[in-house]
Structure 1
Amino acid sequence: MPAAKSAAKKAPPSTPSRSTSAAQIRVGIGGWTYAPWRGPFYPEDLTQSRELEYASRHLTSIEINGTFYGLQKPASYEKWYQETPDDFVFSLKAPRYATNRKVLAEAGETIERFFASGVLLLKQKLGPINWQFAPTKKFDADDFEAFLKLLPASIEGQKLRHAVEVRHDSFRTPEFVALARKHKVAVVLAADSEYPQIADLTAPFVYARIMGTSESQAKGYSTKALNAWAERARQLAAGTTPDDLATCAKPPAKVASRDVYLYVISGFKERNPAAAMALLQKL
């Protein structure tokens, strides 16, 4: 689908870098529908139906949040696929009904229903699945491993990537990191927030969510902070953990390049697109 005329005339001086190298760094935001983005991000004359089209040409990935609250229709996935560039990638927040439960081993049906709902219609644009847990969910090794065993490595020949976003301090333990590595699941790197930071590399990719944008900064973060995150993203893509990020276990024995998915989330949400685009410019 061709880009909207208003999108073309108001695009930034340079477009996002879409590298074809072995390890890619993608930067995006959570969702694309947010009224205060009208003006600061979306042109005033852009119709709402073309917001995804516009956002996907200024960013390289988007985390879909609606999937956390309920199943989406297959037609929606098809529409999202059609409206975005060939090399654009979506990550999806998995349904809360799978993660917000006392016994995680009982989530099998919910997980199967989620993947049968049309998710695979995103084809090559389907990125990592973020399984987010409540801040009250504590680490129990047997309970959590039972859940990780339910996550399919592939469906119908399509490989899947999984990330777990844990929000209780009890997960800050080498035992949890070892479990994630065993199942090749990424631990979401939560940064600039009140949630525990676990920056250990546990999968062939990195999933980061930075949540510190501020109203006082035109681009959400200061230039110094943006430079710092750009450098951290480069180091993570190279297979090393930056010294200024908190880890719980020894680094992997083998250093290998990794795709990085970095989302500017929460904070002062109105500034998130500006921060994401600023990071893309630096990268």
Structure 2
Amino acid sequence: MTPPDRSASPSSRIRVGTSGWRYGSWRGDFYPDGLVQRAELAYIGEHFSTVELNGSFYSLQRPKSYLRWRDAVPDHFTFAVKGSRYISHMLRLRDTTTALANFFASGVLALGPTLGPILWQLPERQEFDPDVLDAFLAGLPRSTAEAKALGSRHDARMRDRTWLEDVADRPLRYALEPRSATFDDPRLAEILNRHGVALTVADTAGRWPRFEPGDTDLVYVRLHGASELYASGYTAQELQDWAERCARWASHGAGRDVFVYFDNDARGHAPHDALALARLVGDDPGDR
């Protein structure tokens, strides 16, 4: 495989990683024999520039977990954080103020400068409702300072398990991953662009629609498997094709960053495919 011709602005960057890192099938394969489980994230930090933190999707994590994860990786590492499925799958993006406050109070901001984009993955049954989506995106904090202010409105269930310390104010970026074909609607781009939210490019072995990225300064890519969802690996030619797409997207404006996460972990392909793509796009985990 040969690296694509990259003409991206020097201020743009392509980062490649995996969706999660704690998988039994990786032990003795990607992770060397004898590596203790608590050292796995540090190993990820040595080999990748980013990882998608997905435990936050299933339940609110605790501040001590976020602090431990941050301490395990280099300062220039980036975590993408999956938003709570309580918000996306149960509330269906409606009446989310308190749930969002609890999410941001739970310790997300403790990641500090390693906090990267936040992903909202929608269920397949969630159909496109422009008013609901517009209202939800309008309620998202645009910076860490706004997120802290929102987090202070958490409910009583979060008492004694919050992290709302002062942090350097930084912009927050979001990506949306819809899985219903009803989102193939010209109004979607208008809403996302108005709020500066990226439309996720998801490769799902044909299970769900693949959308093209919007016009924001973020491109978010999730590779779930080309031929078998969550299970199949990517061929050399498929990785070359994705590398060329990423380089093209990154070249579309100064500061336009591309984040790619492999979620084909069922048979252990994700870290190996991620390493191969990272080499193709020149994503060196040591770059600062």
TM-score tier after normalising by the smaller chain length:
0.7 to 0.9
2:17 alignment counterpart: 28
> Are positions 1:191 and 2:189 aligned together?
no
Give the direction of change, closer, same or farther, for the CA distance of 1:99–1:46 in structure 2 (3 Å limit): same
Q: Which residue of the partner structure matches residue 152 of structure 2?
A: none
- Name the counterpart of 1:12: none
Name structure 2 gaps, 5 residues minimum: 1-7, 146-168, 282-288
CA distance in 2, matches of 1:61, 1:178: 29
Please point out which of 91, 95, 99 is paired with 1:110. Answer: 99
Question: What is the match of residue 81 of structure 2?
Answer: 92
Distance 1:53 1:213 in 2: 29
Shift of 1:30: 0.9
Quote the offset at 1:266 in angstroms: 3.1
Partner of 2:271 in structure 1? 273
Q: How many residues align?
A: 247
Shift of 1:257: 4.8
Whole-Å separation in 2 of the counterparts to 1:21 and 1:150: 33
Name whichever of 37-46 and 258-267 sits farther off: 258-267
Among all aligned residue pairs of Structure 1 and Structure 2, give the percentage whose two residues are the same amino acid: 39
In the other structure, the counterpart of 2:218 is 205
Aligned amino acid, residue 118 of structure 2: I
Measured at CA, do residues 213 and 270 of structure 1 come closer, stay the same or move farther in structure 2, by a change above 3 Å? farther
Q: What is the correspondence of 1:197-236 to structure 2 with a 5 Å cutoff? A: 197-212=210-225, 220-236=233-249
> Which residue of 2 is the match for residue 147 of structure 1?
136
Q: Which one of the candidate residues 109, 114, 117 is aligned to 1:125?
A: 114
Alpha-carbon distance in structure 2 between the residues aligned to 1:224 and 1:25: 19
**Pair 103,86 (structure 1): closer, same or farther in 2 beyond 3 Å:** closer
Q: Is the 8 A contact 1:99 1:107 kept in 2?
A: no
SS at match of 1:56: helix
Aligned twin of 1:137: 126
- Give the partner amino acid of 1:187: L
Q: Which residue of 2 aligns with 1:174?
A: 186
Counterpart position of 2:260: 262
Segment drifting more, 30-39 vs 263-272: 263-272
2:221 aligned counterpart, secondary structure: strand
In terms of mean alpha carbon deviation, does 204-213 or 30-39 score higher? 204-213
Give per-residue Cα distances to partners, 1:102-139, cap 9 Å, x unaligned: 66330111111101111111111001100111100000
Name segments (4+ residues, structure 1) moved above 4 Å: none
TM-score, normalization by structure 2 = 0.81
Q: CA deviation at 1:220?
A: 2.4
Contact 2:12/2:254, CA 8 A, preserved across alignment: no
Contact 2:193–2:216, Cα closer than 8 Å, also in 1: yes
Please, which of 65, 72, 84 is the counterpart of residue 83 of structure 1?
72
Post-superposition offset of 1:20: 11
Task: Give the structure 1 partner of residue 150 of structure 2.
Answer: none
**Per-residue CA distance 1:37-92 (angstroms, 9 max, x = gap):** 01220001111110000011111111011000111111111111111011110001
Larger RCO (CA under 8 A, 6+ residues apart) = 2
Question: 1:268: how far off?
Answer: 4.3
Q: Counterparts of 1:267 and 1:72 in 2: how far apart (Å)?
A: 22
Distance across 2 between alignment mates of 1:175 and 1:28: 31
Q: Is the 8 A contact 1:214 1:268 kept in 2?
A: no
Q: Is the 8 A contact 2:200 2:213 kept in 1?
A: no
2:5 maps to which residue?
Answer: none
Q: Give distance in 2, aligned partners of 1:148 and 1:93.
A: 15
AA at the equivalent of 2:87: A
Deviation at 1:267, TM superposition (A): 6.2
